[in-house]
Amino acid sequence: MSKKTVLVTGGAGYIGSHTIIELLNHGGYEVISADNFFTSSPKSYDQVEMITGKKFKHYKLDLCDILEFDKIFSDHDIAGVIHFAAFKAVGESVELPLKYYHNNIASLVNVLELCRKHKTSNVIFSSSCSVYGNIEKLPVDENTPLPKAESPYAYTKQIGEVMLQDFCKRYLDFSAISLRYFNPVGAHDSGKIGEWPNNKPNNLVPLITGTAIGKYPQLTVFGGDYPTRDGTNVRDYIHVSDIADAHVKALNFLFTGKNKTNYDVYNLGSGNGVSVLEAIAAFEKISGKKLNYKIGDRRAGDVVSVYSDSTKAESVLGWKCKHDIKSMMKTAWEWELYREKEKF
């Protein structure tokens, strides 16, 4: 029996590359990938092949170009799509909103158009905890009403979920799952692949490890006067390999027809809120290095606190976090040291 083929968009990116590893090593799927490398490196594909010992086809492609994108669907019998491809920097989305609305929404429109055209009936959508905005009642679950988004990036994720829900209402032979994951951190246990931003990263952990190794002179913590236990933002950090595992479980769930509805949403988080200063302290403990940081101004678009109730994913998909904050920081630091050694 031939293996099902899965298309991973944005597969050279942080979560995409780890999900390809999971699909190849534990999913039993053939994988193809598409990425425009605007915010990722094609070298990540080499690392995936080195870690898994398996080759897979990948294409340099802007998903907003539907004619070029169509060729992938025409050349392959795609059973399902895991859609990661999107711009994701909250601060940049405030500065360049049209860039985010065009890329993040148009790419999903094209995914759905081509799925319909080529009879691909399963999609896993990369959503985000940013859809919850500033919520007073924590932890949030899938029934928490969504407020006004705090950034254009977050709004594109809210719009994406509505698009999928409407599409599934119209086409009952199509199934989709939106995974709202919280703050992805860490790196693969091999230490040979992790977060790999083209420019200075926007996310906390690669800024921590980059500062510790000397890439950046000092880390700025955005805001120290929030109404939290230490004045800094509180987030639910989740290991990237746990997120990758959830995508494979969600895809298996659809392929085996276990879904009772053709559209659903799941939170992916640890359920524990960790402040920025607590994350820094955890890194300092596992690395033995004192981090040079300062408290700066708040950053536009950031929410105060958010963390997850992921009971639904555990009970329905059989998914649960395996890594704690120490493991997240340990693997992230090992990846940073590996990058320094290999001159990536």
Point out the residues that are catalytic.
153
Q: Are 277 and 48 in contact (CB under 8 A)?
A: no
* Residue of 254, 287, 267, 313 lying closest to 122 (CA atoms): 254
Give the 3-state secondary structure of residue 280. Answer: helix
Which amino acid would we find at residue 328?
Answer: M
H/E stretch holding 224 reads none
- Residue type (1 letter), 274: V
Q: Which two tokens stand for residue 339?
A: 């990058």
- Dihedral angle at the C-alpha atoms of 146, 147, 151, 157, nearest 10 degrees? 20
Residue 260: other Cβ atoms inside 10 A: 7
CB burial of residue 281 (10 Å; 0-12, 13-18, 19+): middle
> Partners of 127 in the beta sheet?
180
Count Cβ neighbours within 10 Å for each residue of 282-319 and write b for 16 or more, e otherwise.
Answer: bbeebbeeebebeeeeebebbbbbbbbbbebbeebbeb
User: Distance between CA atoms of 183 and 335, rounded to whole angstroms?
Assistant: 18
For residue 74, give the H/E element and its range: helix 66-75
Kind and range of the H or E run holding 5: strand 5-9
54 Cβ contact partners less than 8 Å away, ≥ 6 residues apart: 24
> Where are any strands of DSSP class E within 148-249?
175-181, 183-185, 219-222, 234-235, 237-239
Give the separation between CA 313 and CA 259, rounded to whole angstroms.
Answer: 12
Q: Any bridge partners for residue 344, and if so which?
A: none
